[in-house]
Copies of this chain bind each other. A is one copy, B any other.
Amino acid sequence: MNAEIIAVGSELLLGQIVNTNAKFLSISLAEMGVNVFHHTVVGDNPQRLKKSIEIAEQRADLIIFTGGLGPTKDDLTKETIANHLGRRLVTDEAALNSIEAYFLKVNRQMTENNKKQALVLEGATVLPNEFGMAPGMFIHNQNHYYMLLPGPPFEMEPMFTKYGRRAILAKMDKREHIESRVLRFFGIGEAQLETEIESIIEGQSNPTVAPYASDGECTLRITAKHQSSEEALRMIDETERIIQERVGEFCYGYNETTLMMETVKKLKRSGLTIACAESLTAGMFAAEMASISGVSNILKGGVVCYSSEAKEKLVKVKKETLDKYGAVSKECAAELAENIRTILDTDIGISFTGVAGPDSLEGKEAGTIWIGIAVKNQPVKTFLLSLASNRNSNRLRTVKYGCHYLMRELESTSNKS
Contact = CB atoms under 8 A, between A and B. Distances in A.
A14 B26 contact: yes
A309 B300 CA distance: 7
Interface string A43-72: 111001001100100010000000000111
Given A39-B41, A301-B305, A304-B303, A314 B290 contact: no
- Interface of A, secondary structure class, is mixed
Interface in A84-115: 102, 105-109, 111-114
Interface residues of A, number: 116
Contact of A302 (B17, B290, B304, B356): B304
A272 B74 CA distance: 43
Nearest to A209: B74
A283 B287 contact: yes
Interface string A313-328: 1100000000000000
Interface string A262-306: 000000000000011010011111110111010010011111111
Interface in A308-346: 309-311, 313-314, 343-345
Interface string A216-236: 000001010000000000000
Interface in A1-53: 10-20, 22-28, 30, 36-45, 48, 51-52
A59 B55 CA distance: 12
Contact of A11 (B43, B108, B221, B389): B221
A123 interface: no
Contact of A303 (B71, B131, B314): B314
Contacts of A304: 276, 283, 286-287, 290, 299, 301-304
A220 to B, nearest CB: 11
A278 to B, nearest CB: 7
